[in-house]
Amino acid sequence: MATAAATSVSEPETEPKAAPKAEGEEDEAKAARTRKKVLSRTVATATYKTMGPGWDQQEEGVSESDGDEYAMASSAESSPGEYEWEYDEEEEKNQLEIERLEEQLSINVYDYNCHVDLIRLLRLEGELAKVRMARQKMSEIFPLTEELWLEWLHDEISMALDGLDREHVYDLFEKAVKDYICPNIWLEYGQYSVGGIGQKGGLEKVRSVFERALSSVGLHMTKGLAIWEAYREFESAIVEAARLEKVHSLFRRQLAIPLYDMEATFAEYEEWSEDPIPESVIQNYKKALQQLEKYKPYEEALLEAEAPRLAEYQAYIDFEMKIGDPARIQLIFERALVENCLVPDLWIRYSQYLDRQLKVKDLVLSVHNRAVRNCPWTVALWSRYLLAMERHGVDHQTISVTFEKALSAGFIQATDYVEIWQAYLDYLRRRVDFRQDSSKELEELRSAFTRALEYLKQEVEERFNESGDPSCMIMQNWARIEARLCNNMQKARELWDSIMTRGNAKYANMWLEYYNLERAHGDTQHCRKALHRAVQCTSDYPEHVCEVLLTMERTEGTLEDWDIAVQKTETRLARVNEQRIKAVEKEAALAQQEEEKAEHRKRARAEKKALKKKKKTRGADKRKADEDDEKEWGDDEEEQPSKRRRVENSIPSAGEAQDLEVETGLFGKSAPIDVDPPSKQKERAAVLKRDVPKVPHDSSKDSITVFVSNLPYSMEEPDVKLRPLFEACGEVVEIRPIFSNRGDFRGYCYVEFKEEKSALQALELDRKNVEGRPMFVSPCVDKSKNPDFKVFRYSTALEKHKLFISGLPFSCTKEELEEICKAHGTVRDIRLVTNRAGKPKGLAYVEYENESQASQAVMKMDGMTIKENVIKVAISNPPQRKVPEKPEAKKGPGGPMVPRQIYGAVHSVFALPGGGREGPSFLCCLAPYNVQALRQLRRRMALPQSQRSAPQPPLRLPRCPMLILRSCF
Backbone angles phi, psi at 733, to 5 degrees: -80, -45
**What's the 3-state SS for 451-481?**
HHHHHHHHHHHHHHCCCCCCCCHHHHHHHHH
Mean pLDDT of 405-434: 94
156 and 240 fall within a common domain: yes
- Which letter, b or e, does each residue of 426-464 get, where b requires 16 or more Cβ atoms within 10 Å of its Cβ? ebbbeebeeeeeeeebbeebbebbeebbeebeeebeeeb
For 240-288, write each residue's pLDDT tens digit.
Answer: 655 688 889 999 999 999 999 999 999 999 998 888 999 999 999 999 9
Q: Which residues contact 513 (CB under 8 A, 6 or more apart)?
A: 476
Distance, in Å, from the CA atom of 314 to the CA atom of 655, rounded to the nearest integer, reads 76
- Torsion angle of C-alpha atoms 455, 457, 458, 462, degrees rounded to 10: 130
For 546-557, write each residue's pLDDT tens digit.
Answer: 999 999 999 999
Residue of 951, 948, 929, 930 lying closest to 939 (CA atoms): 948
- Band of the pLDDT at 669, cuts 50, 70, 90? very low
pLDDT at site 671: 37
Residue 320 lies in a domain: yes
Residue of 112, 313, 309, 132 lying closest to 854 (CA atoms): 112
181 and 305 fall within a common domain: yes
Report the range out of 503-517, 680-694, 742-756, 878-892 with the highest average pLDDT.
Answer: 503-517
Q: Which of 357, 390, 423 lies at the terminal end of a domain, its last residue?
A: 390
Distance, in Å, from the CA atom of 239 to the CA atom of 411, rounded to the nearest integer, reads 59
- Which letter, b or e, does each residue of 923-949 get, where b requires 16 or more Cβ atoms within 10 Å of its Cβ? bbbbeebebebbeebeebbeeeeeeee
Higher pLDDT, 872 or 627: 872
Residue 961 lies in a domain: no
Distance, in Å, from the CA atom of 771 to the CA atom of 715, rounded to the nearest integer, reads 8
Higher pLDDT, 293 or 717: 293
Peptide bond into 297 cis (omega under 30): no
Q: Is the dihedral of CA 550, 552, 555, 556 positive or negative?
A: negative
122 and 237 fall within a common domain: yes
- Which letter, b or e, does each residue of 630-660 get, where b requires 16 or more Cβ atoms within 10 Å of its Cβ? eeeeeeeeeeeebeebbeeeeeeeeeeeeee
Mean pLDDT of 736-756: 88
Measured in whole angstroms, how far is the alpha carbon of residue 282 from the centre of its chain? 52
Does 913 have pLDDT greater than 80?
no
Mean pLDDT of 562-571: 95
Q: Which residues contact 410 (CB under 8 A, 6 or more apart)?
A: 108, 110, 376, 377, 855
Residue type, 566: V
First to last CA, the chain: 72
**What's the number of domains the chain is made of?**
4
| CATH number for the domain that contains residue 179 | 1.25.40.10
pLDDT at site 944: 56
Q: Percent of the chain having pLDDT more than 90?
A: 44
161 and 252 fall within a common domain: yes
pLDDT at site 425: 97
Residue 703, H or E segment: none
Angle separating helix axes 128-141 and 146-159, nearest 10 degrees: 150
Residue 585 lies in a domain: no
Distance, in Å, from the CA atom of 126 to the CA atom of 42, rounded to the nearest integer, reads 9
For 178-230, write each residue's pLDDT tens digit.
Answer: 998 899 999 999 999 998 888 888 889 999 999 999 999 999 999 999 999 99
Distance, in Å, from the CA atom of 530 to the CA atom of 528, rounded to the nearest integer, reads 5
Residue of 698, 700, 718 lying closest to 708 (CA atoms): 718
Give pairs for 560-564: CB < 8 Å, separation 24+. Answer: 561/528
- Count CA atoms within 13 Å of residue 960 on its CB side: 20
What pairs with residue 846 in β-bridges?
803, 830
Rg of the chain on CA atoms, in Å:
40
Residue type, 388: A
Residue type, 66: D
For 860-901, write each residue's pLDDT tens digit.
Answer: 888 888 888 889 888 887 765 554 444 443 333 333 333 333
DSSP reduced 3-state for 781: coil
Distance, in Å, from the CA atom of 784 to the CA atom of 853, rounded to the nearest integer, reads 45
Distance, in Å, from the CA atom of 826 to the CA atom of 7, rounded to the nearest integer, reads 13
Residue 544 lies in a domain: no
| CATH number for the domain that contains residue 742 | 3.30.70.330
Lowest-confidence pick of 374-388, 503-517, 588-602, 669-683: 669-683
CB 847 within 8 A of CB 828: yes
Q: H helices then E strands: how many in the chain?
A: 40, 14
Residue 419 lies in a domain: no
DSSP secondary-structure letter at 677? P
Helix, strand, coil shares, percent, the chain, to 5: 60, 10, 30
- Band of the pLDDT at 691, cuts 50, 70, 90? very low
Mean pLDDT of 428-457: 94
Q: E strands, 524-565, where?
A: none
Q: Which of 879, 899, 933 lies at the terminal end of a domain, its last residue?
A: 879
CB 103 within 8 A of CB 119: no
- Would you mind telling me the total number of residues written for the chain in this entry? 969
**What's the 3-state SS for 629-663?**
HHHCCCCCCCCCHHHHHHHHHHCCCHHHHHHHHHH
778 and 800 fall within a common domain: no
Distance, in Å, from the CA atom of 136 to the CA atom of 154, rounded to the nearest integer, reads 15
Backbone angles phi, psi at 254, to 5 degrees: -70, -40
Residue 822 lies in a domain: yes
Q: E strands, 686-744, where?
A: 705-709, 732-739
Distance, in Å, from the CA atom of 110 to the CA atom of 852, rounded to the nearest integer, reads 9
Distance, in Å, from the CA atom of 820 to the CA atom of 826, rounded to the nearest integer, reads 11
pLDDT at site 911: 46
Does 167 have pLDDT greater than 80?
yes
298 and 326 fall within a common domain: no
What is the secondary structure of 274-332 as a DSSP string?
A: SSPPPHHHHHHHHHHHHHHHHHHHHHHHHHHSPTT-HHHHHHHHHHHHHHT-HHHHHHH
Distance, in Å, from the CA atom of 667 to the CA atom of 658, rounded to the nearest integer, reads 10
117 and 198 fall within a common domain: yes
161 and 258 fall within a common domain: yes
DSSP reduced 3-state for 848: strand
For 50-96, write each residue's pLDDT tens digit.
Answer: 344 333 333 333 333 344 443 434 443 444 444 455 557 788 888 89
Measured in whole angstroms, how far is the alpha carbon of residue 601 from the centre of its chain? 40
Q: Which of 313, 332, 355 lies at the terminal end of a domain, its last residue?
A: 313
Residue 502 lies in a domain: no
Backbone angles phi, psi at 842, to 5 degrees: 80, 15
Domain encompassing residue 359 = 314-390
What count of other Cβ atoms lies within 10 Å of the Cβ of residue 28?
Answer: 12
Backbone angles phi, psi at 302, to 5 degrees: -70, -40
Mean pLDDT of 617-626: 56
104 and 157 fall within a common domain: yes
Residue 767 falls in which region: left (phi positive, over 0), alpha (psi -120 to 50) or beta? left
Mean pLDDT score of the chain: 77
Mean pLDDT of 412-432: 95
Mean pLDDT of 568-596: 92
Does 479 have pLDDT greater than 90?
yes
CB 914 within 8 A of CB 921: yes
297 and 340 fall within a common domain: no
Does 134 have pLDDT greater than 70?
yes
pLDDT at site 242: 56
319 and 293 fall within a common domain: no
For 337-365, write each residue's pLDDT tens digit.
Answer: 999 998 999 999 999 999 999 899 999 99
CB 222 within 8 A of CB 304: no
Residue of 820, 852, 814 lying closest to 834 (CA atoms): 814
- Which letter, b or e, does each residue of 550-581 get, where b requires 16 or more Cβ atoms within 10 Å of its Cβ? bebbeeebeeebeebbeebbeebbeebbeebb
162 and 235 fall within a common domain: yes
Distance, in Å, from the CA atom of 102 to the CA atom of 663, rounded to the nearest integer, reads 91
Distance, in Å, from the CA atom of 648 to the CA atom of 833, rounded to the nearest integer, reads 44
Q: Which residues contact 379 (CB under 8 A, 6 or more apart)?
A: 406, 411, 416, 417, 419, 420
Residue 11 lies in a domain: no
CB 925 within 8 A of CB 962: yes
- Count CA atoms within 13 Å of residue 789 on its CB side: 10
Residue of 8, 3, 7 lying closest to 822 (CA atoms): 8
CB 12 within 8 A of CB 117: no
Q: Percent of the chain having pLDDT more than 70?
A: 71
Does 725 have pLDDT greater than 60?
yes
Q: Which residues contact 228 (CB under 8 A, 6 or more apart)?
A: 214, 218, 250, 254, 259, 265
